[in-house]
Amino acid sequence: MNPPIAPNVDDSQLIFATGECSLGQVLIAGTSDGNSKTRVSYLALGDDRESLLIDLATAHSNRKRVETKSVFQAELAAAIEFIEQPAEPLRLPVNLFGTDFQKQVWTELAQTEPGETVTYRELADRIGSPGSSRAVGAACGQNQIALAIPCHRAVRSDGKDSGFRWGLDRKRELLRREKKVSGGSVEPANNQLHLAGFETTPAESLSVARTTRTQP
C-alpha cells in the first residue's frame, strides 16, 4: 500500500494542449523529457476551455503549466479521433499516479474493449479484491486520464446510472458510440437518451495511437 506519488509534489513542468470535439472541449496534459518523449498524465473533457483550465490548475496547483500545441499534437488528435469513432482502444503513453489499488483498477479497466462494459463488482473480483466494489468505484472516480483509462465502461451491476467524472451524459454517449462502432447493436429503445449537441460528426483523420503500455 505504498503512498501515491502525487503529481502535485512533482515540480517538473506540465505541458498541455486543448482541442475541440463533438462532446465538447478536450484537454490533454503531461510531461516531456525534452527528447520528444512524452507521457500523458491528465486527459479531461468539459464544456468549455476555461473550466478545464481551472480544473487543471486545481489538480496541479504546484506545477508550472505550459501550453504548447506541438508536443501533444498526435495524442490530442488520437483522443479526438477516439471520441468521434471509438473503434479500438485509445492507447497513449501514460503516467499513472495513484495507489497500488487504484492502479490495479485502472489497469484492469484498460483491458476492456470498446463496446463492452464491466460492473464495479466484476472489476473488484478481477483484481482479486472481491467485495470492494465501492472502493473500485471510488478509484474510478480518481482516474485522471479519461478515455485512455476507460472508466466510462464501468457500470453498476443493478443497471442504474452511476457517475462519470466528466459528465454522465458523456459517459452514456461514449458507450453508445462504442457499441455502434464495435458492431454491436444500438439499443433503439434507449436512443432518445442522447443529448442534443452530442451528434456524431465526421472523424478528423489521423489515427496516431501509440501502443505503449501503462504503468511507470
Q: Around Cβ 63, how many Cβ atoms within 10 Å? A: 19
Q: Which of 27, 28, 44, 151 is catalytic?
A: 151
Is 38 or 214 the residue whose CB approaches DNA more closely?
Answer: 214
Distances from the Cα of 35 to the Cα of 145, 198, 216, angstroms: 23, 38, 17
Closer Cβ to DNA, 110 or 140, answer by number = 140
Q: Give the C-alpha separation, 181 to 114, whole Å.
A: 8
| 21 labelled catalytic | no
Residue 190 touching DNA (CB under 7 A): no
Check binding of 200 to DNA (CB under 7 A): no
Grid cell in block for residue 176: 453508445
Cβ proximity to DNA, 32 vs 132, nearer residue: 132
Minimum Å gap between C-beta 152 and DNA is 6
Minimum gap (Å) between residue 64 Cβ and DNA: 23
Q: Footprint of DNA on residues 161-180 (CB under 7 A)? A: 162-165
Q: How many CB atoms lie within 10 A of CB 79?
A: 27
Instruction: Give residues 75-104 in contact with DNA (rule: CB under 7 A).
Output: 98-102
Question: Which position among 51, 134, 197, 216 is part of the footprint of DNA (CB under 7 A)?
Answer: 134
Which residues are designated catalytic? Answer: 151
Which residues bind to DNA, rule: CB under 7 A? 1, 4, 98-102, 119-121, 129, 131-143, 151-152, 154, 156-158, 162-165
